[in-house]
Structure 1
């Protein structure tokens, strides 16, 4: 179990790193193209890059259950299509600093939906860690006195950005439902859907196509900061659940600020130091979580990559090397036991 936890934590933090560095790097590309078209190129780079990787690796076609297709379709509609449109609508009427502040609502809404609607367990330590990480993100993105617009003049744009955050929060929780499936396929489907939608909207609004250097740079950045990042995010969902993955991913603004300091030579501010301290405290609270109690597993049948452990005790037609991951349809027998665990795909019980 601890190895699963560590894999999930590392996946979530690396996803946050890859996504966080996209902001300062995209800022450089914005001088060459429009925000909407850049968003399209980033998403398309994500989906097309993952498609090429999968072709080179000769990945077998993905087969999803009808229920999983429904969950994935819901995630694509809310997070890949509706959320980007709402975000661009909001950005058109408010400053970048204000939108950065509001975008931090995504992690909060993800956790709230996970706790209230999807019944993930939460205790005081996890809630406090989540609050510390979000507080660090708020400090990092707090607008200065030179904000372009007052809060009263950005009500509807603010609601649009919050709507985008809600769309991504729903997306995160729905994606958790299919997280045992091929993470690369899920990320590819989202990237191609969101990129195509944004491209149609950008062209319809008269966006001009940038040079090939900008196009290739945006595609490569999208592949790493959106495609690879989302693949790692899905892997983290598999092991940690939506609320904890969202909390670790919330440190992305700090990574972005750090890259801005190192590459763009922006100053090290008190905001950055305070945010780093708050986020480090929040991550430590999550890392030191020890959630253990007697719990029951109901009978379950599904297919995903696994090794034989306490939760995977079943027979095979032929010999299987111990410790080697393999994938097939298998059945979990009802059982009760006690150990440290997290709200992963095998521990979705009540408390």
Structure 2
């Protein structure tokens, strides 16, 4: 299986599993405080990872390419949308929505990510991908409609969809910097978003919960937000925004399954209908294949790579060609045909 697909599915599983655990903390911790702790736990855990990694290797070629000055505006926008606004909307929605339904509603992140990628950032797509997204959209409508009789208006669902829009913006902006160190990107997001959310919470008069809740939130944040985001950034590098979002749409099924078992929620007929529609949409994405003749324009960038058909440059230092390494390098123009995704080397027009 393609490396990008594996990373996207791992990201989905980690994030999906975090939703019902976050639901357990919603009643005892204000949403803004919980959002801050989740992201701060993510950032601090990844900061420790970076520290351990730097101790293990003194060779810069072994390390992923770091963030550069041109990356910072894209990263700042991603943090503001996905790290500050998104979590608050999600946790507010969780307070009004059963965790199993909330988990499935999170599929809207993939839909909105793809829509922005296709129509704003001009990433290529075909009919099969579009039909798959239609299935997921209809499933989201089914889940939202079920809440109308109970709540008078689908307030919780709308908050969760709003969070998904924030993360869709985040995903497309993060794609712009995805060639850089995924751990560094995720760490920066966690530290900044966590500090901002907790700072706002304190300014509004909210206090911190007990140590047990803080440690629980930090653990959920590190796995469901930190490690998940690292995998997601790597997937963006290899698959592009729309397809990564589609694979990430498997996350809610993990969360829904855990919710039904752990929280003893009873699934409704609408839940199963939505699950079937979303499953069909995801299957269409998983079975997509994109292949045609294309031209690579000259390119200069830095990222971790091996010497494959896209990397045939010479080195001015000693290095074994089979070993992964990172350094600035040039790509010469090339024309060829093979199956590919809109990764960092395939962002050509169609």
Coarse TM-score class (shorter-chain normalised): 0.7 to 0.9
> SS where residue 54 of structure 2 aligns?
coil
CA deviations 1:24-70 (Å, max 9, x no partner) are: 11122223322221111111111111111211222769743322122
> SS where residue 295 of structure 1 aligns?
strand
Query: Normalising by the residue count of structure 2, what TM-score does the alignment of the two structures yield?
Result: 0.87
Deviation at 1:314, TM superposition (A): 0.9
CA deviations 1:199-237 (Å, max 9, x no partner) are: 112222222321111110110110000011111111110
> SS where residue 6 of structure 2 aligns?
helix
- Residue of structure 2 in register with 1:190 after alignment: 189
- Residue of structure 2 in register with 1:150 after alignment: 153
Deviation at 1:146, TM superposition (A): 4.5
1:69 is matched with which residue: 72, 77, 82?
72
- Of 229-238 and 285-294, deviating more is 285-294
Query: Using the alignment, how far apart are the partners of 2:220 and 2:158 within structure 1?
Result: 29
Would the alpha carbon gap of residues 102 and 255 (structure 1) be closer, same or farther in structure 2, given more than 3 Å must change? closer
- Of 182-191 and 70-79, deviating more is 70-79
Gaps of 5+ in 1: none
1:302 corresponds to 2:305: no
1:26 corresponds to 2:22: yes
- Residue of structure 2 in register with 1:132 after alignment: 135
Query: Using the alignment, how far apart are the partners of 1:86 and 1:32 within structure 2?
Result: 17
Are the equivalent residues in 2 in contact too, given 1:254–1:275 (CA < 8 A)?
A: no
- Residue of structure 1 in register with 2:60 after alignment: none
> SS where residue 302 of structure 1 aligns?
strand
- Residue of structure 2 in register with 1:234 after alignment: 233
Question: What are the residue-to-residue correspondences of 1:208-287 with 2, within 5 Å?
Answer: 208-287=207-286
Are the equivalent residues in 2 in contact too, given 1:75–1:172 (CA < 8 A)?
A: yes
- Of 275-284 and 58-67, deviating more is 58-67
What number of residue pairs does the alignment pair up? 341
Are the equivalent residues in 1 in contact too, given 2:111–2:136 (CA < 8 A)?
A: no
> SS where residue 43 of structure 1 aligns?
helix
CA RMSD of aligned residues (A): 2.8
Question: What are the residue-to-residue correspondences of 1:67-216 with 2, within 5 Å?
Answer: 67-84=70-87, 91=93, 95-96=96-97, 100=102, 104-139=107-142, 143-144=146-147, 146-150=149-153, 164-216=163-215
- Residue of structure 1 in register with 2:32 after alignment: 36
- Residue of structure 1 in register with 2:59 after alignment: none
- Of 164-173 and 58-67, deviating more is 58-67
Would the alpha carbon gap of residues 196 and 61 (structure 1) be closer, same or farther in structure 2, given more than 3 Å must change? farther
Are the equivalent residues in 1 in contact too, given 2:182–2:230 (CA < 8 A)?
A: yes
Would the alpha carbon gap of residues 177 and 61 (structure 1) be closer, same or farther in structure 2, given more than 3 Å must change? closer
> SS where residue 260 of structure 2 aligns?
helix
Are the equivalent residues in 2 in contact too, given 1:95–1:147 (CA < 8 A)?
A: no
CA deviations 1:321-343 (Å, max 9, x no partner) are: 34321111111001111111111
Question: What are the residue-to-residue correspondences of 1:336-347 with 2, within 5 Å?
Answer: 336-347=335-346
Are the equivalent residues in 2 in contact too, given 1:140–1:253 (CA < 8 A)?
A: no
Query: Using the alignment, how far apart are the partners of 1:249 and 1:257 within structure 2?
Result: 14
Query: Using the alignment, how far apart are the partners of 2:138 and 2:223 within structure 1?
Result: 27
Deviation at 1:10, TM superposition (A): 1.5
Would the alpha carbon gap of residues 164 and 261 (structure 1) be closer, same or farther in structure 2, given more than 3 Å must change? closer
- Residue of structure 1 in register with 2:58 after alignment: none
Deviation at 1:164, TM superposition (A): 4.4
> SS where residue 201 of structure 1 aligns?
helix
- Of 216-225 and 247-256, deviating more is 247-256
Moved over 6 A (4+): 59-62, 157-161
- Of 21-30 and 172-181, deviating more is 21-30
Are the equivalent residues in 1 in contact too, given 2:67–2:181 (CA < 8 A)?
A: no
Query: Using the alignment, how far apart are the partners of 1:246 and 1:15 within structure 2?
Result: 10
